[in-house]
Amino acid sequence: MELRFPYAIAVGIPVILLLALLTYGVRKKYKDGRKVANTEYIEKTPYFKRKLLEYRFCSVIVIISIVLSLSLLMGLIARPFRSNQTITEIHNRDIYLCLDTSSSMFHVDLEVCDRLKEFVSGLHGERFGITIFNCQTVTLVPLTTDYDYIIDVLDQIKEACQIAIDVTEYGKFYDAEDMIKYKYMIDGTQSESFNAGSSLIGDGLASTVFQFPNVKDDASRTRVIILATDNELWGEPFVQLEEATNLCTKYGIKVFGAAPEEVVDYDQYKACVESTGGRLFTLESKSMAKDLIKEVEKTDTSVLYKSEVTETEYPEKLVMLLTICLGVHFVVSRRVKL
């Protein structure tokens, strides 16, 4: 137990003792009565003896109760509290999922998001974010440790991909609600301009690089990008894929690629990804997403220990005792006048 204002005790106790001495130590005799002669017979009666014993007992109780009440009051003024130190382990790693939302990527996006749900639920302190791109890049989820929200967004992306697959491959009809769900993962990534292009991979990857806070100055954090694309570029990006992966290498960001079975310029894509220290996985492997996540889990993470001290005051017991003492004082004091 600690006291927030210990001087209240140091000052209060002597004051209480001094008041007790002044109040009960020096009293005038016969202050409220008169002298009576020939009381020897009365003092020997059982009734008088019983009343005198009751008087003395109640007097002691009244004195003790008021002294205890004042002492407890000093204790409340001193404000006792407990301090508790909590040490939290935080893994020093940032992960971005960068999804190509063009129509050729729906199967890959669906599987990656499905597998990532279990991965995200097992994170401890790592920050996770999601960007989507086509001809433009949108930050869907900035880096956060709100894993429940991330899983919810992954579910929405999965649902949008499934709707798109059902419509494009199986000719299923979609209603207005399905359209709203589908647009969740494409809004902002497309342009009305015909010349805007599609799957501008370099732009999407470079944009994601600069979503990492302090990426230029803070090299202490492990940074990873999971890039899902088939490398089917159409149009003229501002940043070529090689330039984007060079940026990743410069800032120590590992890129792990997820792609369908058919990849445009596979060797070039693979070389770019591996130049960052990552690996490329395709749907040719039945365990593509599982293997990719295992590789991400192997990335080095430094562990930070966050120390937090919480202080909790607990006046309840003192208040309860003070109430009891005051109650006893007022009840017993009615039986006797000091």
Q: Let me know whether 319 and 295 are in one domain.
A: no
Say if residues 205 and 248 touch (Cβ distance below 8 Å). yes
Residue 179 domain boundaries: 88-305
Say if residues 325 and 333 touch (Cβ distance below 8 Å). no
User: Does the pLDDT at position 30 exceed 60?
Assistant: no
Q: What is the largest CA-CA distance in the chain?
A: 126
Average pLDDT over residues 126-152: 91
**113 in a domain, yes or no?**
yes
Helices (H), ranges, 4-45: 7-20, 40-43
> Tens digits of per-residue pLDDT, 298-335?
887 666 666 778 888 878 888 888 888 888 888 888 77
Q: What is the pLDDT of residue 338?
A: 46
User: Does the pLDDT at position 293 exceed 60?
Assistant: yes
Q: Let me know whether 283 and 214 are in one domain.
A: yes
Q: Let me know whether 176 and 256 are in one domain.
A: yes
Angle at 85 between CA 81 and CA 86, to 5 degrees: 135
Q: Tokens standing for 76?
A: 């409340």
Q: Let me know whether 34 and 136 are in one domain.
A: no
**188 in a domain, yes or no?**
yes
Q: How far apart are CA 43 and CA 37, in angstroms?
A: 12
Closest CA to 203 of 227, 179, 184: 227
Closest CA to 272 of 299, 248, 291, 303: 248
- Tally of domains within the chain: 2
Residue with tokens 């202490």: 220
Average pLDDT over residues 26-48: 70
Q: What is the residue-averaged pLDDT of the chain?
A: 82
CATH number at 301 reads 3.40.50.410
Helices (H), ranges, the chain: 7-20, 40-43, 46-78, 106-121, 147-170, 176-183, 201-209, 241-250, 266-274, 288-298, 316-333
Q: How far apart are CA 86 and CA 309, in angstroms?
A: 6
Q: How far apart are CA 338 and CA 333, in angstroms?
A: 8
Q: How far apart are CA 149 and CA 172, in angstroms?
A: 30
Q: Let me know whether 20 and 136 are in one domain.
A: no
> Tens digits of per-residue pLDDT, 109-123?
888 888 888 888 878
**310 in a domain, yes or no?**
no
* Residue 148 burial (10 A CB sphere; 0-12, 13-18, 19+): exposed
